[in-house]
């Protein structure tokens, strides 16, 4: 039984590891240590500084609309309150009391709005359900959502402020007006890298220890003790050859989780989405102002089904002038030999910082992105895409988290992962409920987050496909850069 006296090792310093450590330490756990191969104390979760985990990013979407998944909606709304508390705490802090690079001017959550769009004049079922459930369960939040092309909702948006009236009409001309959706003024963006930096700061204040960087913070293998038919994990060995012992090891390695726990390869899978960037030059203040969060929301767009389906979106411009766009209707896999388990192939992240680095994206996703983005913002084609990234997610069989003891290890090994592309927003609150699962205190999340694997004959979010599936990266055509360092808009738009 895990108690505050237990020695706890957490492998992974991203969202799941940070939030878990924070709530354990704040509730009296005296010996919690996070190990990670990334030097977060030096690179500050900045993806330009060698970080390639899903948590290390410039920004992430915050939304609370989850349709029938009321548990996720409620969790998001609870997290939203804490995000805003963090904003207030940072604003009231002295600069010297904040971890670099945070300043009192930083907002970890900016409620710039999220515009949910889809092709066609009739509201798609997903959006109808989102709004109906919100109306029944969180009516005050529903008051901040405005249906496109509704005279009544146009008046309500206008009453909220002139900036919201302008945001409401931003996409009126896209596809000659043949789109549907709604503007959610209660949602927005989080500063991902700075949010993780702040969470790490809070962890340190609460007494969490960090061992970061290669080789001393990098996991080599779990220490597994076997006795007859039983086994348990007694700690970890790091790349420097040192052994670190604990009563409980929590694996929160995101898309690398099944690389650590072989049994998890049928519970979670590393899948890759396509991310593109446009860096607006400093002398184009007209564009920087146009896409500023005060004037521009996060946007999402859904179109079509099957191979031609598009589901993606974009973000307002950052202070540095960077626009980010993502595509994730179809996510890809990269099967490699398991690092410790013989005769096992698993999907494994491949990034700019991998032993075999990659600096481009699948042409399939890029072609869909350039068509949608070019139609929305033709004024950006003269600048062009200036950077790209493969964003690796941790998909579970049903897009719900996997937070539970791993069977067969006598409650000594715990998995905490399965973000499935929507986990970041829960950073400020997730650990509160992870702790319940650790201490075996059942709550509403227990049956949803429990250990589960692929069921034969069922659609399991692609995990049932294996290496022979159509998403395997080795069978993809990758985009070619027109010139080193950039993927040209001109080359792909025309």
pLDDT tens figures, 330-381:
889 999 999 999 999 999 999 999 999 998 999 988 999 999 999 999 999 9
Of 10, 53, 5, 29, the residue nearest 390 (C-alpha): 53
| Residue 119 near residue 302 (C-beta atoms within 8 A) | yes
The residue ranking higher by pLDDT, 483 or 124, is 124
Of 115, 13, 59, 38, the residue nearest 425 (C-alpha): 59
Secondary structure element (H or E) that encloses residue 367, with its range: helix 363-376
Half-sphere exposure of 53 (CA within 13 A, CB side): 30
The pLDDT of residue 491 is 38
Rounded Cα gap, residues 441 and 59, in angstroms: 33
Residue 492 has pLDDT above 50, yes or no: no
Residue 253 has pLDDT above 80, yes or no: yes
Summarize pLDDT for 99-122 with one digit per residue, the tens.
Answer: 999 999 999 999 999 999 999 999
pLDDT band at 484 (very low <50, low <70, confident <90, very high): low
Rounded percentage of the chain residues whose pLDDT exceeds 70: 97
The dihedral built from the CA positions of residue 192, 195, 201 and 206, taken in this order, carries a sign that is negative
Helical residues (DSSP H) of 92-215, grouped into ranges: 125-137, 139-142, 151-160, 162-168, 192-206
| Residue 25 near residue 206 (C-beta atoms within 8 A) | yes
Rounded Cα gap, residues 18 and 1, in angstroms: 22
Q: What is the mean pLDDT of residues 155-175?
A: 97
Partnered with residue 36 across adjacent β-strands are 212
pTM across the whole model: 0.96
Q: What is the mean pLDDT of residues 141-150?
A: 98
The pLDDT of residue 230 is 87
pLDDT band at 480 (very low <50, low <70, confident <90, very high): confident
The pLDDT of residue 483 is 58
Average pLDDT, the chain: 94
User: Per residue in 108-146, is it b (16+ CB within 10 Å) or e — as a string?
Assistant: bbbbbbbbbbbbeeebbeebeebbebbeeebeebbebbb
Nearest-5° Cα angle at 107, 65 to 160:
55
Summarize pLDDT for 258-301 with one digit per residue, the tens.
Answer: 999 999 999 999 999 999 999 999 999 999 999 999 999 999 99
Residue 148 has pLDDT above 80, yes or no: yes
Domains of the chain: 8-59+192-267+398-458 (3.50.50.60)
Partnered with residue 268 across adjacent β-strands are 396
Residue 52 has pLDDT above 70, yes or no: yes
Of 136, 134, 89, 96, the residue nearest 114 (C-alpha): 134
Q: What is the mean pLDDT of residues 414-428?
A: 97
Of 396, 313, 230, the residue nearest 59 (C-alpha): 313
pLDDT band at 481 (very low <50, low <70, confident <90, very high): confident
């Amino acid at each position: 039984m895990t108690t505050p006296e237990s020695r706890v090792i957490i492998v992974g310093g991203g969202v799941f590891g940070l939030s878990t450590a924070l709530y354990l330490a704040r509730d009296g756990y005296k010996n919690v240590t996070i190990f990670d191969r990334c030097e977060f104390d030096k690179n500050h979760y900045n993806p330009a500084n060698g970080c390639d985990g899903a948590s290390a990013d410039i920004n992430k979407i915050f939304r609370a609309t989850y349709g029938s998944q009321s548990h996720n909606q409620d969790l998001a709304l609870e997290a939203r309150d804490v995000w805003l508390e963090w904003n207030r705490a940072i604003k009231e802090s002295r600069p010297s009391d904040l971890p670099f690079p945070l300043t009192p001017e930083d907002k970890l959550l900016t409620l710039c709005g999220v515009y949910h769009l889809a092709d066609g004049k009739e509201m798609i079922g997903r959006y109808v359900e989102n709004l109906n459930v919100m109306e029944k369960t969180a009516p005050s939040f529903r008051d901040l959502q405005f249906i496109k092309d509704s005279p009544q909702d146009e008046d309500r948006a206008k009453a909220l402020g002139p900036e919201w009236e302008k945001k409401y009409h931003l996409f009126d001309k896209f596809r000659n007006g043949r789109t549907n959706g709604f503007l959610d003024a209660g949602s927005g963006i989080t500063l991902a890298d700075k949010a993780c930096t702040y969470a790490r700061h809070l962890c340190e204040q609460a007494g969490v220890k960090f061992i970061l960087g290669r080789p001393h913070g990098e996991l080599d293998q779990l220490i597994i003790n076997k006795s007859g038919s039983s086994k348990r994990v007694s700690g970890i060995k790091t790349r420097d050859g040192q052994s670190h012992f604990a009563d409980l090891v929590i694996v929160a390695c995101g898309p690398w989780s099944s690389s650590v726990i072989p049994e998890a390869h049928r519970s979670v899978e590393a899948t890759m989405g396509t991310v593109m960037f446009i860096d607006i030059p400093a002398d184009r203040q007209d564009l920087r102002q146009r896409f500023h969060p005060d004037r521009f929301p996060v946007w999402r767009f859904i179109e079509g089904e099957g191979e031609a389906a598009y589901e993606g979106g974009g973000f307002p411009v950052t202070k540095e002038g960077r626009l980010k766009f993502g595509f994730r209707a179809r996510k890809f896999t990269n099967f490699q030999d398991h690092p410790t388990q013989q005769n096992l192939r698993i999907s494994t992240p491949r990034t700019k910082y991998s032993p075999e680095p990659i600096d481009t994206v699948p042409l399939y996703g890029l072609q869909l992105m350039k068509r949608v983005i070019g139609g929305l913002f033709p004024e950006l084609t003269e600048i062009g895409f200036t950077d790209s990234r493969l964003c690796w997610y941790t998909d579970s069989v049903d897009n719900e988290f996997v937070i539970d003891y791993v069977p067969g290890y006598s409650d000594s090994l715990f998995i905490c992962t399965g973000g499935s592309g929507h986990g970041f927003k829960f950073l400020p609150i997730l650990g509160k409920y992870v702790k319940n699962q650790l201490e075996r205190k059942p709550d509403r999340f227990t049956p949803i987050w429990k250990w589960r694997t692929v069921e034969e004959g069922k659609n399991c979010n692609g995990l049932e496909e294996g290496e022979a599936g159509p998403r395997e990266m080795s069978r993809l055509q990758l985009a070619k850069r027109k010139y080193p360092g950039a993927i040209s808009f001109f080359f792909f738009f025309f």
